[in-house]
Amino acid sequence: MNVEQVIVSEVWRMLPWWQWVLGAVLALPFTLLMGHVLRRVFPYWVEDSSRTASQGFK
């Protein structure tokens, strides 16, 4: 086994399974929140992409 596999297996033994589930549940709203923040911070990206999509590529 290489070093990465040893580290992952050690961490897996130290952390119970419910902490992995809790981490996944907490990561989902955080990801959605970051997407919302990015849309607020960079609105011109969304507007530019929607304008390009509505015009179509000629």
Instruction: Tell me the pLDDT of the chain (58 aa) as tens digits.
Output: 699 999 989 887 887 888 888 888 999 989 999 998 888 888 766 566 666 565 555 4
Q: How far apart are CA 19 and CA 17, in angstroms?
A: 5
State residue 49's pLDDT score. 65
Domain ranges of the chain: 16-55
State residue 16's pLDDT score. 82
Beta strand extents in the chain (DSSP E only):
none
| pTM for this prediction | 0.36
What Å distances lie between residue 46 and 7, 16, 21, 30, 56, CA to CA? 41, 41, 33, 20, 15
Widest CA span in the chain: 57
State residue 57's pLDDT score. 53
Please check whether residue 46 is in contact with residue 39, taking contact to mean a CB–CB distance below 8 angstroms.
yes
State residue 33's pLDDT score. 93
